[in-house]
Amino acid sequence: MKNAVVIHYGEIGLKGKNRILFEKTLAKNIELALKDLINEKPIIKHGRLVLFISEKSDQIKDRLRCIPGIKYFAFSIVVPSDIEAIKEVALKLAENKKGCFKVETYRSNKNFPLTSVDVNNIVGEYIAKHTKKKVNLGKPDFIVFIEICKNEAYIYSEKIRGVGGLPVFPNEKIISLLSGGIDSAVSSFLMMKRGCKIVFVHFFNYTRQSQNVELKIKNLVGILSRYQIDSKLYMVPFREIQMEIIKNIPSKLRMLVYRRFMMRIASKIANLENAKAFVTGDSISQVASQTLDNLNVIYSAADKPVFTPLSGMDKEEIIDIAKRMGTYEVSILPYEDCCSFMVAKHPETRCDLKKIENAEKNLDIQGLVENAISKMKEISIEAKW
């Protein structure tokens, strides 16, 4: 009899010939996330991953809940695939629970002599006889889960929900324009769930608050790193570009020009990182710069695709995700945002590209971008648990 974590995936199971690549990537990510907590590597077995452990751990639980690709997992007891051994362990689990119960069996080993229904009935009767607990198939207070594989069976009473989605692939890089607010953190998380490794870029001013801003961004990236184990953050100074924009660009166009500079600088960083795309926290028409016309103008400055996973969400939906993933409390901390300098009283809401390009002729775009790149700072950040 051993202790193990049984780890199930969802979408990975729909993959074809490359399914093993996704399974191995998920197994490697689990190993890296738990490297200081486990002695054995996860094993791919019968459409699931199995991680043998010495005992149940809240730390293991907290970290597994953050790994993209995991649909659910369970701390289980492993016994030989023998009905007598299964009955005894199931009984021990049930004895520590209160209320009525039911048994659910999943049988991946079709050569096992009993069907899933047979096992449910036999184990259920055994538990009821020895504990006097009642069976309730409709609304049980607890469930005894049994997974029967080729040589062993896994028995547990709690399924713990994971992130779902796909495992993060280290080479599938995307650049996130991280503002420090709620939205860009959530959009970064959603792209991690699709298997993307996020490289973060934050633009800031050199002011008396610079250290506080950097600390906030580092803390935010530390939390986001729970979902991809570690992260790289680029801190890009933006004050000189802002001053040039204020001097040379009409106020109602400044925010658009400002964001186009962000895309140009992010494009340079993407080339350094071999990243394939960008992700932003834009939600259509949430603010003036996020109308369809203005977003087209902004994104035309990028040299790679721009993903906007929040496009169809309202603010309440975005906040709900931020709270679940743990970034909300850090995101709402006050800090000096670069954007506040650029917001006009009556900003342009339906700009066209030609108008912006004419306004930008007064700027040394290449020189300003290269200067910002030369002064940026690269920071490596581990997951903040």
Please tell me the predicted confidence (pLDDT) of residue 21.
96
CA 308 to chain centre: 15
Residue 180: C-alpha distances to residues 5, 205, 213, 250, 287 (Å): 35, 13, 9, 26, 16
Please tell me the predicted confidence (pLDDT) of residue 324.
96
CA 335 to chain centre: 24
CA angle 312, 316, 320 (to 5 degrees): 105
Please tell me the predicted confidence (pLDDT) of residue 337.
60
Task: Name residue 103's amino acid.
Answer: V
Q: What is the mean pLDDT of the chain?
A: 93
Please enumerate, as own/partner, the contacts of 23-29 that have beta carbons within 8 Å and a separation of 24 or more. Answer: 23/49, 25/69, 25/167, 25/168, 25/169, 26/67, 26/69, 26/70, 26/167, 29/67, 29/68, 29/69, 29/167, 29/168, 29/229
What's the pLDDT tens digit per position in 7-50?
A: 999 999 989 899 999 999 999 999 999 999 999 999 998 889 99
Closest to 163 in 3D by CA, of 192, 125, 140, 135: 192
Contact criterion met (CB below 8 Å) for 201 and 340 = no
Please tell me the predicted confidence (pLDDT) of residue 209.
61
What's the pLDDT tens digit per position in 292-304?
A: 999 999 999 999 9
Q: At what angle do helices 254-273 and 239-248 cross, to 10 degrees?
A: 140
Kind and range of the H or E element at 152?
strand 152-156
Please tell me the predicted confidence (pLDDT) of residue 340.
55
Low-confidence ranges of the chain (pLDDT < 50): none
What's the pLDDT tens digit per position in 113-169?
A: 999 999 999 999 999 999 999 999 999 999 999 999 988 999 999 999 999 999 999
Please tell me the predicted confidence (pLDDT) of residue 299.
96
Residue 139: helix, strand or coil by DSSP?
Answer: coil
Sorted by where each starts, the structural domains of the chain and their CATH numbers stand as 2-161 (3.30.2130.30), 173-382 (3.40.50.620)
CA 94 to chain centre: 35
